[in-house]
Structure 1
Amino acid sequence: MSAELLINVTPSETRVAMIESGILQEVHIEREAKRGIVGNIYKGKVSRVLPGMQAAFVDIGLEKAAFLHASDIVPHTECVAENEKKQFQVRDISELVRQGQDIVVQVVKDPLGTKGARLTTDITLPSRYLVFMPGASHVGVSQRIESEDERLRLKRVVADYCDENGGFIIRTAAEGANEKELAQDAAFLKRLWTKINERRTKYKTRSTLYGELGLAHRILRDFVGTEITRIQVDSRLIFESLKEFTSEFVPELESLLELYEGDKRSSICSIRRTKFSAHWSVRSI
């Protein structure tokens, strides 16, 4: 069954539709105003250490310094047995970081009011089926996957992708996924982590090493390995960004990208919600 993705970009929002054999199957919308920085990874500098609060402030290049608590400077423990977690007791913040130190951190909570962003050094990178955990050595499975046979199958498959770079958490969406889909997800995440590591050595302090993917990029990431035959984009800026993204991380999709340069008011990429129906539709040429 042939399928194509239609990506419509406006200053206020991005819309993506998936069409199968001429029939609309899915619509995704992301409003620019609601995008935060959760998931972004920065190369920051510790600006202040507060032993009494067991915390530190980190300059990551934003208006307000971000907040890093000692409990967020820990290794991956999501899937470690309870009797093994004792070795990961929170240490004194003064033993973990020092003022002026460069540090790689990920945002777990957006800035709010007078408070800066909340950080962690426990980096995670999600994809459609997996979450990559740099530095970890285990495989975890979402508790929402209830079938023990399926849990064992997934864990057996994904265990082969673990190496010295890190381990994985298997997401709920992976239930029923085949080995090819899981392998492509793992390969994407490893390429992404390699790129972040390269930037860590090249970029200056207070730089963004990784920005959480926007809708168009996430959709391409999630549809790798599916029977997509064409991807139309009506924004040259996003088209060029997607070309660079696919070239680096999902090369199998790069040749499918097409720039739509027609009238957006009658574009097949222009997705709207009708005034008279709760159903989504695609405006035809």
Structure 2
Amino acid sequence: MKKEIIVSKTLDELRIAIKENGILVEYYTEKESNVNIVNNIYKGRVIAINKSLKAVFVDIGLLKGAFLPFDQIQQEQFLDENFNPLPVKYKVDPLKLKKGQNILVQVIKEPISNKGARVTTNISIAGRYVVLIPNANQIGISKKIRYRNERGRLFKIAREIKLKGIGVIVRTSAEKHGFEEIDEEVKKLMFKMNHIKNEEAKKPVPSLVYAESNLIDRIARDLFSSHIGKCVVDSKDIYEKLKEYLSKNEPKLAGILELNNKSDLFKQYGIDKELHIMHSMSVPLN
């Protein structure tokens, strides 16, 4: 059974739920008063190196210094067309950094309480079909693409479009898409990457160099695929925005969109009930 995306907008909050086989499997929320900084790229400065914590602290212009661990394992692992893991070479060796040194980092985890944001020097620029990794040479294929013939086809496309010194991860959404579509996106991402380089060169330290898209844009980019059977939205503005996105990027999926602003979607689809059960669950301690 295909997944369903439920999008509900209130005055100050956007809520998105994903159901599979009638069960809530993913939930996202974003308040207008809260600014998401995950995937933002900052030009920062090293303020401390703590070998006991195996981390570097970086001033990126926020209240707390950002936490850069020595072991910068990426969330998206490189896998080749035969599902074999590929080694990742890091651009920066944290042990060679010095206090006061300028450094470009990307946020991988929001600041929490009295802890600063968690960052990495392994910058990545995500599109719908691919993720580009500066200062890398690997080509990786999403592990969610299961068929070897399709993995091989996409690997050949990635090898053709790959630029020297730029790593490429082919995302699940690239499945069944052709060379021209993927190549066009790579060109757009390279334009964005060059813009980031220019911003890094001219901006002071610390500075925001690149800001990630908002939640609805990320959902459109990352989740719309042939695996989605329906997307129900209660906001006409968001409906029109998603409709425009699909008409440009995934015209075959335009039919999955539904506008329903006459009922409480989270109540209608049982999402409020599922969230209440999840939040009220407790584990007895013996």
8 Å contact kept, 2:157–2:179:
yes
Report which stretch shifted further, 189-198 or 178-187. 178-187
**For the Cα contact (< 8 Å) 1:73–1:121, is it kept in 2?**
no
Which residue number corresponds to residue 227 of structure 1?
Answer: none
State the AA in 1 paired with 2:122: D
- SS of match in other structure, 1:160: helix
**Alignment of structure 1 residues 1-285 onto 2, 5 Å:** 12-13=12-13, 31-32=30-31, 36-72=36-72, 78-79=78-79, 85=87, 93-95=94-96, 97-215=97-215, 217-218=217-218, 271=261, 273-274=263-264, 277-278=268-269
User: Is the 2:77–2:85 Cα contact (8 Å) retained in structure 1?
Assistant: no
Gaps of 5+ in 2: 1-7, 17-26, 224-235, 249-258, 271-286
Distance 2:13 2:193 in 1: 28
Structure 1 pair 272–207 and aligned structure 2 pair: CA distance change class (3 A): farther
Question: Match of 1:31, as an amino acid?
Answer: E
Asked whether the equivalents of residues 15 and 29 of structure 1 are also in contact (C-alpha less than 8 Å), the reply is yes
1:192 to 1:78, Cα distance in 2 relative to 1, 3 A: same
Code of the aligned partner of 2:107: V
SS at match of 2:52: helix
CA distance in 2, matches of 1:134, 1:207: 20
Opposite residue 198 of structure 1, the aligned amino acid is N
Give the Å deviation of 1:35: 5.3
**Structure 2: how far apart are the matches of 1:148 and 1:83?**
15
8 A contact 2:79–2:85 mirrored in 1: no
| Deviation of 1:148 (Å) | 0.8
Give the Å deviation of 1:221: 6.0
- 1:162 is displaced (CA, Å) by 1.1
How far has the Cα of 1:212 moved from its partner?
A: 1.2
Q: Distance in 2 between matches of 1:84 and 1:130?
A: 17
Cα pair distance change 1:11/1:183, threshold 3 Å: farther
Take 1:15 and 1:163, find their aligned partners in 2: how far apart are those partners?
A: 38
Change (3 A) 1:103 1:174: same
Letter aligned with residue 205 of structure 2: T
TM-score (norm 2): 0.63
Deviation string 1:113-168 (CA, Å, 9 cap, x unpaired) is: 11111110001111111111111112100112111110010011121221125121
User: Residues of 1 paired with 2:44 and 2:165: CA distance?
Assistant: 22
Q: 1:220 to 1:196 in 2, by over 3 A?
A: farther
TM-score when scaled to structure 1? 0.64
SS in 2 for 1:53: coil
Q: Deviations over 1:182-210 (max 9, x none)?
A: 12221221111111111001111111111
In structure 2, the partner of 1:25 is none
Where 1:71 maps in the other structure, the secondary structure is coil
Identity of aligned residues (%): 32
- Stretches of structure 1 that go unaligned for 5 or more consecutive residues are 1-7, 17-27, 224-232, 240-249, 254-268, 280-285
Distance 1:128 1:84, change over 3 A: closer
User: In structure 2, what is the Cα distance between the partners aligned to 1:162 and 1:185?
Assistant: 12
Task: Give the partner amino acid of 1:170.
Answer: V
Deviation digits for residues 231-264 of structure 1 (CA, Å, limit 9, x no counterpart): xx969xxx9xxxxxxxxxx9xx7xxxxxxxxxxx
